[in-house]
């Protein structure tokens, strides 16, 4: 009998063990299934800079109430504040999307010194200003292709945050050099003068560097549109591009066309890609309180969203995230002159629909001919306004160069019952839109840093591991016993100089190289000089290069 019970006990134990193995296998399979459900090969991040719900509402009414391409994927809200301010500027806002960390206003993809907003953790003093590896840089390190598409100049805050690191978002020449040396595979937008040796203060031939490294470099859309190179920089304006309503006859491509071209090129990489597309000038139109510019740029951006969604829906490996970086202008459909019952839809639209140019486009046409008669003629032709007051005519005459949209925007807004509270950013949440082939998208109210976390998760990229040992400071190198000097003899090309075993190593800022005599070595990351505190951060693999 004892033997019987022992056999029975052994059978039960065996059965339990088998069941545990089965359950464990099922759990493992489910876990793998969940990971497979989440993971994608490609991410397209689209940023309509400064866009609010008022912007999308006006654009939707402008096109007869037809839905925008982005409408179907709205899924949540995003908190936008920076590390030190409830109202962010574009630099820390883009940094949050690029790195998963908040930083200070004006900083691009570096750790902050000041973290005064609730819930924002203070970094250690040794890490103040240290560069943070971006999702674009990490994607490139794991073998993916990378791209930036925009309508501003490429060193502007939003594209810059993904491929540059600085405490001064206005250092366009330094930022441009970093983006070039980061070798982003596809760059399409404006800003030719920042790679032209004849227009740069430091005379660096960045266009030549790109060509020598296998890039097609062009300022002609006609030249590029029928080509499909592996790597390309297409910069179609000396500085920023025209608003979409003003683009006719310029030879510049639309944002949708540039997005289509970028996807055509980047999708050749079997390892996948990361692409950031910015509707840059929604923000600029909002700063000017120009509703015509808002409609122009929101619709142009939405056309690019359609291109991205069509691409993603034609396959099963691509996610699309659409998210503004912040609000701008405090725009409302309705102002103090409007009442609920008296203002009809046509009252909002009639003047905007008559406009065929933005305020910036009208400024080009008026030029220096600022007579009363010419102003009235041009505004009548391109805005359909025939009742300008003398005060309005005088305001147009006295507008500063490049700022006529700040005059014409309010003129048409007043006639269209559109309100504005400011010419600057505001601090409310923005709408999150997301498409994933398996429906795995964020919901509810999330932080802007969580957008980066989500993208890294679905791409299978551990950003934290990249940041653990990416950069080392000049002080840390000195602590290791090396002789370290920051050479500022050429203020346009500050260098870190290291003496070790009788050899001198020169590390230029904004480049990913180390020079030792006749030898030149490439480093993993671009080297960064932080001018405000005179700290130099270099790619940490430099220490290994020096030891050899």
CA distance 45 to 135: 11
Higher-scoring residue by pLDDT: 544, 334:
334
Average pLDDT for residues 433-457, to the nearest whole number?
A: 98
90 is catalytic: yes
The mean pLDDT value of the chain amounts to: 93
pLDDT in tens, 224-249: 999 989 999 999 999 999 999 999 99
Q: Which of these, 84, 126, 87, 110, lies nearest to 168 by C-alpha position?
A: 110
Cα-Cα-Cα-Cα dihedral of 27, 32, 34, 36, to 10°? -160
Which stretch of 9-23, 51-65, 426-440, 494-508 has the lowest confidence by average pLDDT?
9-23
Residue 451 pLDDT exceeds 90: yes
Residue 31 pLDDT exceeds 60: no
The model carries a pTM of 0.92
Which stretch of 19-23, 58-62, 100-104, 283-287 has the lowest confidence by average pLDDT?
19-23
Identify the active-site residue in 82, 90, 219, 296.
Answer: 90
pLDDT, residue 34, reads: 61
Q: Spell out the domains of the chain, with CATH numbers in brackets.
A: 44-273+314-329+435-444 (3.40.720.10), 340-419 (1.10.60), 471-547 (3.30.457.10)
User: Would you put residue 187 in left (φ > 0), alpha (ψ -120 to 50) or beta?
Assistant: beta
pLDDT, residue 20, reads: 47
Q: What is the per-residue DSSP string for 295-364?
A: HHHHHHHHHHHHHHHHHHHTSSSEEEEE--S-EETT-EE--TT--TTT--HHHHHHHHHH--S-HHHHHH
As a whole-number percent, the residues of the chain with pLDDT over 90 amount to 89
pLDDT, residue 37, reads: 85
Q: Which of these, 129, 131, 111, 96, lies nearest to 525 by C-alpha position?
A: 131
Quick one: angle between helices 405-415 and 345-354, nearest 10? 150
Q: Which of these, 320, 311, 281, lies nearest to 451 by C-alpha position?
A: 320
Average pLDDT for residues 332-358, to the nearest whole number?
A: 93
Give the model's confidence band at 27: pLDDT under 50 very low, under 70 low, under 90 confident, else very high.
Answer: very low
pLDDT, residue 543, reads: 87
pLDDT in tens, 485-531: 999 999 889 999 999 888 999 999 999 999 999 999 999 999 999 99
Average pLDDT for residues 264-277, to the nearest whole number?
A: 98
pLDDT, residue 14, reads: 52
CA distance 136 to 305: 20
pLDDT, residue 21, reads: 43
Higher-scoring residue by pLDDT: 348, 5:
348
């Amino acid at each position: 009998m004892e033997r019987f019970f022992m056999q029975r006990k052994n059978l039960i134990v065996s059965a339990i063990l088998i069941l545990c193995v089965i359950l464990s296998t099922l759990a493992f399979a489910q876990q793998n299934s969940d990971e497979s459900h989440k993971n994608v090969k490609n991410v397209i991040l689209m940023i309509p800079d400064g866009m609010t719900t008022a912007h999308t509402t006006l654009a939707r009414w402008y096109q007869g109430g037809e839905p925008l391409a982005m409408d179907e994927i709205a899924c949540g809200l995003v908190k936008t504040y920076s590390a030190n301010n409830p109202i962010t500027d574009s630099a820390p806002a883009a940094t949050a999307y690029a790195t998963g960390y908040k930083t200070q206003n004006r900083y691009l993809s570096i750790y902050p010194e000041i973290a005064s907003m609730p819930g924002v953790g203070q970094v250690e003093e040794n890490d103040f200003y240290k560069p943070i590896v971006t999702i674009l840089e990490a994607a490139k390190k794991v073998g993916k292709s990378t791209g930036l598409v925009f309508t501003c100049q490429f060193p502007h805050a939003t594209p810059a945050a993904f491929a540059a690191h600085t405490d001064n978002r206005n250092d366009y020449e330094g930022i441009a050099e970093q983006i070039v040396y980061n070798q982003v595979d596809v760059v399409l937008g404006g800003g030719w003068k920042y790679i032209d040796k004849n227009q740069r203060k430091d005379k660096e031939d960045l266009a030549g560097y790109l060509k020598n490294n296998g890039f097609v470099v062009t300022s002609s859309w006609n030249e590029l549109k029928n080509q499909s190179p592996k790597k390309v920089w297409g910069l179609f304006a000396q500085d920023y591009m025209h608003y979409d309503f003003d683009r006719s006859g310029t030879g510049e491509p639309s944002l949708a066309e540039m997005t289509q071209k970028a996807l055509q090129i980047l999708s050749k990489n079997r390892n996948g890609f990361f692409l950031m597309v910015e509707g840059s000038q929604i923000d600029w139109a909002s700063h000017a309180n120009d509703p015509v510019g808002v409609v122009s740029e929101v619709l142009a951006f939405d056309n690019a969203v359609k291109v991205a969604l069509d691409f993603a829906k034609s396959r099963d490996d691509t996610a699309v995230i659409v998210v503004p970086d912040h609000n701008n202008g405090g725009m409302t459909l309705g102002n103090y002159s409007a009442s609920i019952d008296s203002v009809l839809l046509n009252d909002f639209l009639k003047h905007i629909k008559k406009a065929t140019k933005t305020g910036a486009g009208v400024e080009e046409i008026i030029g220096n001919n600022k007579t009363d008669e010419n102003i009235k003629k041009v505004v009548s032709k391109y805005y359909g306004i025939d009742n300008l007051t003398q005060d309005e005519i005088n305001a147009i005459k006295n507008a500063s160069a490049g700022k006529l949209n700040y005059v014409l925007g309010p003129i048409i807004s007043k006639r269209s019952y559109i309100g504005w509270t400011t010419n600057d950013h505001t601090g409310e949440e923005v709408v999150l839109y997301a498409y994933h082939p398996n429906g795995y998208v964020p919901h509810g109210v999330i932080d802007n840093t969580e957008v980066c976390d989500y993208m890294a998760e679905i791409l299978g990229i551990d950003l934290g591991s990249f940041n653990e040992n990416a950069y080392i400071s000049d002080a840390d190198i000195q602590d290791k016993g090396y002789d370290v000097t920051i050479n500022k003899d050429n203020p346009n090309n500050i260098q870190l100089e290291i003496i070790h075993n009788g050899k001198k190593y020169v590390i230029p800022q904004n480049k990913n190289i180390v020079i030792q005599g006749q030898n030149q070595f490439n480093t993993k990351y671009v080297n960064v000089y932080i001018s405000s505190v005179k700290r130099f951060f270099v790619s940490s693999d430099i220490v290994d290069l020096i030891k050899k």
